[in-house]
Amino acid sequence: MLFGKKYNLVGLDIGSCTFKVGEIVDSKKGRSLKNFSMLDIPPGVIEEGAIREPDIAAQKIRELFKTAGIKEQNVAISIGGFSIIVKNITVQTMTEAELQETIQLEAEQYIPFDISDVNLDFQIIGENESNPNQMNVILVAAKKEMVEDYLNVVQLAGLNPLILDVDAFALQNIFELNYEGEAESVALIDIGASKTSLNILKGYSSVFMRDVSLGCNQINQKIISLVNCSAEDAEEIKFSEKSDKISKDDLSEITSAVVSDWCAEIRKALDFFYSTYPDEQIKRVVLSGGGANIKEFQELLAVETSTEVETIDPFKNLMIDNKKLDASYLEQVAPQAAICMGLAIRRADDK
């Protein structure tokens, strides 16, 4: 491993409700967390992954970097949602250079978008288990419009986007860093503001991915409908112990209804996985994102899936300077920080 500042990147997670930034530095002693900070953004700036107000988004990114005291301008960012397609495909064995030349033809049969409207990338996984003349490949297609919007807003903030990752892969990377590899299947589930992502790993290989349009904003919308308040007030009410605008029972009923929907959709996705891989059994579910800390969700999902459910700790194997960073704060925001930390471990010389 090479040490030195020029290889370090800042992880920048551009979420629909909150921006997160993190710095992880390498040393001979290992990886250490240098910085982590979060900033809520106004409603409507980013909706379902689409950047509606790029000037405001860029301003908030600058504000976040200033508040965190981060000087580094080279960043790693990620995108997700329905503008991204990730497929596990099988192709004839060839070199990476040969696949680079033919990937567009290979992709056309798997991608539901016009090939001219997407950016393509791939990663060769290895030889196919059932046919030695074929190899397994992860294919990624991202709509050019979305890619350009995210790169543009980062550049508008005065930063250099050196790596554009996929949310699910950033989450997978930080999981691999912090948890020992296992032969059995593990489901990584990220519950964001407007999107829930499912990534099932066997060992350290992703075998199944699914995004659904469900997230924490559903709770906010139900609160707004009930008490006719602003989006900002709804966010505050959601996490308040007591509110004069909504009863504890009403809030509990809203939360229960929403998390039941989440569990039902996750159950459907898992059923599809089991129908595709009938011999597999998911042994553990690891949650991240803003919805991960909802205790009722954890408990109901454990019952629905008959599986151990836990929240991710993206700081688990990082050295932390307790004089600079508040350990209790990091523990509280850990599930929300996962994708950001997965980006922060990327380096400028990565593929």
- Give the pLDDT confidence of 320-341 residue by residue, as tens digits: 977 788 989 999 999 999 999 9
What is the three-class DSSP state of 310?
A: strand
Whether 346 has a pLDDT exceeding 60, the answer reads: yes
Min mean pLDDT across 91-95, 170-174, 241-245, 263-267 is at 241-245
Q: 1-83+144-178+316-351 has which CATH code?
A: 3.30.420.40
Q: 84-141 has which CATH code?
A: 3.30.1490.300
Q: What are phi and psi of 77, to 5 degrees?
A: -125, 170
The neighbour count for residue 253, using CB atoms within 10 Å, is 13
Question: pTM of the full predicted structure?
Answer: 0.91
Q: Which CATH code of 2.60.40.420, 3.40.50.720, 3.30.930.10, 3.30.420.40 fits the domain covering 180-312?
A: 3.30.420.40
Q: Do domains 1-83+144-178+316-351 and 180-312 have the same CATH topology?
A: yes
Element (H, E) at 130: none
pLDDT at 181: 62
DSSP 179: S
Whether 2 has a pLDDT exceeding 60, the answer reads: no
pLDDT at 21: 98
Domain extent listing, the chain: 1-83+144-178+316-351, 84-141, 180-312
Rounded Cα distance between 313 and 178, Å, is 8
Which two three-digit tokens encode residue 14? 């551009």
